[in-house]
Amino acid sequence: MPRTIDAPATPDAPANDVAVAARAAEGQGKREYVQQMFSDIAPRYDLLNHVLSLNIDKGWRRRALAALGWRARPTGTYLDLCAGTLDVGAMLVGQQGFRGFVAGADFAVPMLQHGTGKAPRTVLAPVGADALSLPFADRSLDGAIVAFGIRNVADLDAGLREVRRVLSPGARFVILEFSTPRFALVRQAYLAYFHHVLPFIGRLVSGHRSAYTYLPMSVANFPTEETLADRMRAAGFSTVTWERLTLGIAAIHTGTA
């Protein structure tokens, strides 16, 4: 079940902005809010990712790519879903031994534009596309990965089914996403940072009044690790496994098409 946690308004984030972010985190007007919000914060997105995570996010992405199992199909075609500024795709094509191609799909086109140049288009191509309607044929891709984006999809179950549709038999789907720590002391410190420090720094650097208020709300409303695994199975994925990272701050789920 989702873990709903209220976030108070602050002088820098007026109540109406918080209310809009809260409704989006709960699914009301989510698609429109997410598309516009990420388009707005695109110029500062990479910087904020690394600063706010204390650079831990890079290690998480490496772990997620290892779970993708691309070495079994090093010349294959892979999907970086909700690709943002193409960090994950660029990291994949830069792996020693990788000789395939990555399509980085996102419906916030300004995010993709800010990732241009991280790798040649011959190996990493941005694709303006909604996660609920991917422009790929059935069973045409050799693997897919989504890092910190699946909770932003307007319909999680439909999104999981759409990824399953485009993957070839035996291909892996890897989800890297924020979670909520289970240990009380760690959870208390995490939530204090997530709901107070992170929104303040995010607003200061990005200039967006609600984006980094939406972030902790969207995590709070996201399914637990066990529930997400069940929903992946319901979407048709087999051999679904998951592991917690860094005291439960994030988690990696892996399923096979």
So where are the chain's domains?
24-256
Q: Of residues 1 and 99, which shows the higher confidence score?
A: 99
State the Cα–Cα distance between residues 88 and 90, nearest whole angstrom: 5
- Tell me the DSSP string of 115-151: HTTSS-TTTEEEEE--TTS-SS-TT-EEEEEEES-GG
Fold of 24-256: Rossmann fold (3.40.50)
What is the predicted pLDDT for the residue at 106?
97
Q: What are the backbone angles phi and psi of residue 208, rounded to the nearest 5°?
A: -95, 130
Burial category of 245 from C-beta neighbours within 10 Å (exposed 0-12, middle 13-18, buried 19 and up): middle
Q: What is the pLDDT of residue 51?
A: 73
> Is residue 50 pLDDT above 80, yes or no?
no
The 10s digit of each residue's pLDDT in 179-198 is 989 899 988 998 888 888 88
Query: Which range in 51-55, 179-183, 243-247 is most confidently predicted, on average pLDDT?
Result: 243-247
- 144 close to 165: Cβ distance less than 8 angstroms: no
Kindly tell me the number of DSSP H helices and DSSP E strands found in the chain.
Answer: 11, 7
Using a pLDDT cut of 70, give the percent of the chain over it: 94
Q: What is the pLDDT of residue 88?
A: 97
Residue located via tokens 């094509």: 93
DSSP structure string for 70-105: GGGSTTSEEEEET-TTTHHHHHHHTSTT--SEEEEE
The pLDDT, as a whole number, for residue 2 is 35
* 223 touches 246 (CB < 8 A): no
- Helix H or strand E segment including 200: helix 198-206
Residue 203 CA to residue 88 CA, distance in Å, equals 24
What percent of the chain lies above the pLDDT cut of 90? 62
Judge residue 104's burial from the number of C-beta atoms within 10 Å of its C-beta, 0-12 exposed, 13-18 middle, 19 or more buried. buried
Is residue 138 within 8 A of residue 118, CB to CB? The reply is no
Region 161-177: mean pLDDT is 98
Q: Any idea which residue has 């007026």 for tokens? A: 14
Alpha-carbon gap, residue 60 to 222, rounded angstroms: 19
Mean pLDDT of 75-99: 97
- Partners of 101 in the beta sheet? 77
| Whole-number Å distance between alpha carbons of 86 and 172 | 19
Report pTM: 0.89
